Amino acid sequence: MQYSTKKCILTYSGAIMFAFGFGIMLDGIFYRTTGATSGAVLNSAGNAVVKSVPHWCGLLLILLGARNFTFGIAQWKYGVNCCGGGACEVLFVNLMALIVSLAAVGLAILGSWDVLNNASASSIGSVPDFTYLISIWFMSLMCAILALMSMCAGCLPVGEPQEEEEIEMQQYGHDNPQFSKY
């Protein structure tokens, strides 16, 4: 893998994870304040805790996404070989992002279990919980996919610098004498 490719993957996945974390956090605020309760699953205090989890997961995804973003713009090479050069830190941060995003999905489902069980196709659209659940599920699952992609990018070794220069020369036509100004 080229160094520039790894930088792009980590930078863009961090930026998107940051944005989705912000969206999850805002949806978590509104999701927590909706009136539906799931007394059959949890008591009201437990329901309040479970329904506040997406808000805190969104906040953590903002922080983990920002750290992932800084991996991409770092000046030194993360993951020069599979077990060194910062690959373990990339893996740890993205493993935490994966766990946090899947926790947001799972606990959002648990918090609205009664709403989902008692819903019909005609009535589910009018339930505010369902609208927030769909957005939390989508953004959390996208963050999980980005975390997996970044973990894979962190594990792949970076090629030698001279290989990157040769590829760049070929890419921009500098090895062709017809286009060379030098």
Mean pLDDT of 72-101: 73
Residue 111 has pLDDT above 90, yes or no: no
**In terms of pTM, does the model score above 0.85?**
no
Please list, in sequence order, all residues whose beta carbon lies within 8 angstroms of the beta carbon of residue 73, skipping any fewer than 6 positions away.
7, 11
Closest CA to 93 of 141, 156, 154: 154
What pLDDT, in 10s, does the model give residues 1-23?
Answer: 677 788 888 899 999 999 999 99
pLDDT grade, residue 46 (50/70/90)? low
What pLDDT, in 10s, does the model give residues 124-177?
Answer: 777 777 788 888 899 999 999 999 999 988 887 776 666 666 666 666 666 556
Instruction: Kindly list the distances between the CA atom of residue 167 and the CA atoms of 61, 76, 180, in Å, as whole numbers in the listed order.
Output: 35, 20, 16
